[in-house]
Amino acid sequence: MKRVVLVRTIGPRNVGSVMRACANFGVEDLVLVAPQKASMLVHPEFEQMAHGVQDLRAKIRVVKTLEAALEGTARSVGFTARSRGQRKRKDWRAVSADWAEICAEPKHCVALVFGSEENGLTVEETDLLGDLCSLPTSVEHTSLNLSLAVGVVLYTLFRGKGVHIREKGPVLAERESAELLKARLKDVLSRAALSAAAGEQIQASIERIFTRAPIESRDARAWHKILRAIDGHRHPRELGVTPTPRAARRQRALDANRSKQTDTDPIADR
């Protein structure tokens, strides 16, 4: 379980953006420690940046001290671009996997603490935290915007189901369909050429295009319809293409479906 804590935050836009990031990555607990503007949570820019998050202000708690924000937490980690006293900061890339395991434990509440946009966390504030980490950046720009930093950290800790990960890609035409279309295009367009040399150039161009770039099934069907309208129905054998028997095509589809189910069924791996 994760709790995001913003200490002495200045900008309502940052708070709104952090609220949106919390919603994106499943964080229900956002705490503001002594925000510098009392009107921050009713500011139009806050609502603009957190657009789409339901019950905005009900999801945020405001407290006066960092001690109060840390109440009920088992572990805490602060993020700062500046070194504080004698404490060494850890590279977040090196420890984020460990913290992801800690945050995945539902019984433990972990505080992720971020300081003010103006001066980060003070030495006194870092003394209250269990760990300190930095988010490495280029030497030209050594600190991140507050809301961007929160977004980076929450993204690396996110273990939920990604709703955009398994989007279906294009359905490519099977090899037989692509070969038939290629043969039909060569036949129709080379016969329409003004000379034998032009016909050979057309055929070579079609061969190059279909060799380099796969074609989607829907586009193959559309081109077959165009060629049928121009040249009528032609049997594949007339074009030198041997069709696969229907029974073989059906068996190939069944085998592909079984393979897909095996790859996605966790029981099959046991």
Q: Supply the CATH classification number for the domain 2-157.
A: 3.40.1280.10
Domain ranges of the chain: 2-157, 175-266
Which is higher by pLDDT, 9 or 38?
9
Question: Over the chain, what is the mean pLDDT?
Answer: 83
Is residue 242 pLDDT above 50, yes or no?
yes
Is residue 247 pLDDT above 90, yes or no?
no
Residue located via tokens 């966790």? 266
Taking the model in full, what pTM does it have?
A: 0.60
- Please give the backbone phi and psi of residue 268, each rounded to the nearest 5 degrees, phi first: -65, -20
pLDDT, residue 268, reads 41
Average pLDDT of 248-255?
57
Contact status, residue 73 vs residue 109, Cβ threshold 8 Å: yes
Q: Per residue in 194-236, pLDDT tens?
A: 899 998 999 999 888 877 777 888 888 898 889 888 888 878 7
Distance of CA 2 to the CA centre of its chain: 21
CA separation for the pair 215, 181 (Å, rounded): 10
Is residue 269 pLDDT above 50, yes or no?
no
Contact status, residue 12 vs residue 40, Cβ threshold 8 Å: yes
List residues bridging with 129 in a β-sheet. none
What is the torsional sign of CA 223, 224, 229, 232?
Answer: positive
Q: Per residue in 44-53, pLDDT tens?
A: 888 888 887 7
Is residue 154 pLDDT above 90, yes or no?
yes
pLDDT, residue 267, reads 44
Select from 69, 64, 67, 14 the least CA-distant residue to 41: 14
Average pLDDT of 101-121?
89
CA separation for the pair 61, 15 (Å, rounded): 12
pLDDT, residue 221, reads 87
Range of 5-9, 180-184, 244-248 with top mean pLDDT: 5-9
- Please give the backbone phi and psi of residue 56, each rounded to the nearest 5 degrees, phi first: -50, -60
Which is higher by pLDDT, 141 or 70?
70
Is residue 151 pLDDT above 60, yes or no?
yes
Is residue 171 pLDDT above 60, yes or no?
yes
Is residue 135 pLDDT above 50, yes or no?
yes
Helix (H, G, I), strand (E, B) or coil at 88: coil
Q: Per residue in 42-96, pLDDT tens?
A: 888 888 888 877 676 777 899 999 999 999 999 999 998 877 777 789 999 999 9
Average pLDDT of 137-144?
81
Tokens of 176: 């037989």
